Structure 1
Amino acid sequence: MDASTAPLAGKIAIVTGAARRNGRDTAYALAGAGAAVVVNTRASRAEAEAVAAEIRARGGRAMAMLADVTSEAEVAGMVAETVAEFGGLDILVNNAADRAIAPFTEMELSEWRRVTGIILDGAFLCARAALPHMIAAGGGRIINMGGVTGHIGAHQRAHVSTAKAGLVGLTKALAVEFGGHGITVNCVVPGKIGGPRSASSGEVPGSGGAKVLTGGEGATEEVAAMILHLCLPVSRFITGQSIHISGGVYLP
């Protein structure tokens, strides 16, 4: 694709938790559409550097950046460095998460706060740091990475389910507050993406028997494709929505 005519040419994106899976393929998708991409990770430096190097090898612009999304100072530094390097910030994908497992009655408060902090506090801190730059630019896109367990629940993942459900509320609140600035905010909700196929022909583990209507499992590239679509100019009229990529596990 000619960089000058790519649909996201001139746009700058941050993808948190972008060293692997959904985050990695989202970084590839945005870069393939012309955006400069910051590949964020908290600790997986080698993997994040590999993603950024692959984007550059394909002719795109990217850099890996270590930052803990639960740290106000590190998030502020990541956004400031992004703006200094690329000249602005137009797209934020809040993908960083931890899918920890713990029985609820044995869950320590520290573990609850750690997991909800990564998913929910991280999205809050990143969005708060990014929004002034989007407002100054006259528009932007924020995509929060939800999870189907936030809608149907899951065994031993009360902290994850709660935080993912919280992202839905955050998405709606930011869509209302910043829509007048040309900023759209949406939540992409994956379910049964990648990994070993279920022995129960599409049942989602820990979901109380919820079934994938289309059978099998989805792919990280399919999640990335939806995120890319929401970042394109043609999607300017979509905001405040939770869009499920789960083969019909949850029907709103």
Structure 2
Amino acid sequence: MAESKLLDGQVAIVTGGVRRIGKAIAMSLARDGAAIVINARSSRDEAEATAREIEAIGGRAMVHIADVTDEGAVAGMVSATLEAFGRIDILVNNAAIRREVPFTQMTLTEWREITSVILEGAFLGSRAVLPHMVRSQYGRIINIGGVSAHTGAYNRAHVAAAKSGLTGLTRALAVEFAAQGVTVNCVVPGKIGGKRSATSGHSVSLPGGGQPLVGHDGAPEDVAEVVRTLCLPTGGFITGQTIHVNGGLYMP
């Protein structure tokens, strides 16, 4: 008999799930038995490669290409998830763009490009999955925040503002849906090492050139492990929280 896993039978959507933190989260949840819907806006080849890695460890995965700022596309992603797997238990709002531009040179178009992906994407995704979670009286929503929202950062006012918005959204949804068995939390990575994508910009430039107290950058898997814990059935007593994973870089 196959060994039972902690998330057997559950289904997770991970937006921006093709690389770095998103990919690490998708892999971690898959190892615990969840079927994974890997969302990307355009990187189909990378998304399918991640799906193959999940299948190679005995997991289930499907790829869904959708722009998280497009209301119809998000609805389509949820419909495709339900058609493929019959349920939605976990949503990880990880999709983000982190461009850099001095504030006085920032255009409204540049502001909206960032805030729409980070904040409106989380709004649309959460609104689309919550009716299904409420119906089953169970759900886990994890928003991936950013340390710049708490420390400030050079040339990233749009990113910091959008990530700050995720903290407020997390608390509001936690209050509104706790009675329906849905927990909502925000996980905030610090400085995470490894190769960065073109839309990630450089490693965030914090005031004072901040370095983690532990003496090294984190890994995507460090963040994924905290997300995993919150997604487990045993994580049901944690909601409305902003949890920092940063090696002591920032201590609220």
TM-score (norm 1): 0.94
Between stretches 118-127 and 241-250, larger displacement belongs to 241-250
Shift of 1:205: 4.8
CA-to-aligned-CA distance 1:156-204 (integer Å, 9 cap, x gap): 00000000011000000000000000000000000101138xxxxxxx7
CA-to-aligned-CA distance 1:201-249 (integer Å, 9 cap, x gap): xxx7521113311111000011111100000111100000010001111
- Output the CA distance in 2 between the equivalents of 1:101 and 1:169: 23
- Output the CA distance in 1 between the equivalents of 2:235 and 2:159: 29
Q: How many residues align?
A: 244
Query: In the alignment, which residue of structure 2 is the partner of 1:206?
Result: 205
User: Is residue 2:248 matched to residue 1:248?
Assistant: yes
Query: In the alignment, which residue of structure 2 is the partner of 1:235?
Result: 235
User: Is residue 2:101 matched to residue 1:108?
Assistant: no
- Output the CA distance in 1 between the equivalents of 2:20 and 2:206: 22
Q: Is the 8 A contact 2:6 2:232 kept in 1?
A: yes
Unaligned runs of 5+ in 1: 197-203
Query: In the alignment, which residue of structure 1 is the partner of 2:88?
Result: 89
- Output the CA distance in 2 between the equivalents of 1:30 and 1:11: 10
Query: In the alignment, which residue of structure 2 is the partner of 1:199?
Result: none
Q: Which amino acid letter does the alignment assign opposite residue 239 of structure 1?
A: T
User: Is residue 2:64 matched to residue 1:65?
Assistant: yes
Between stretches 103-112 and 187-196, larger displacement belongs to 187-196
- Output the CA distance in 2 between the equivalents of 1:2 and 1:107: 55
Query: In the alignment, which residue of structure 1 is the partner of 2:76?
Result: 77
Q: Secondary structure at the match of 2:62?
A: strand
Judged with a 3 Å threshold, the aligned counterparts in structure 2 of structure 1 residues 47 and 240 are, in CA distance, closer, same or farther, namely same
Q: Is the 8 A contact 2:95 2:118 kept in 1?
A: yes
- Output the CA distance in 2 between the equivalents of 1:99 and 1:56: 30
CA-to-aligned-CA distance 1:73-100 (integer Å, 9 cap, x gap): 0000000100110001000000000010
TM-score (norm 2): 0.94
Query: In the alignment, which residue of structure 2 is the partner of 1:125?
Result: 124
Structure 1 vs Structure 2: percent identity of aligned residues? 58
Query: In the alignment, which residue of structure 2 is the partner of 1:160?
Result: 159
- Output the CA distance in 1 between the equivalents of 2:33 and 2:2: 9
- Output the CA distance in 2 between the equivalents of 1:93 and 1:11: 14
Q: Give RMSD over aligned pairs.
A: 1.3
Q: Secondary structure at the match of 2:207?
A: coil
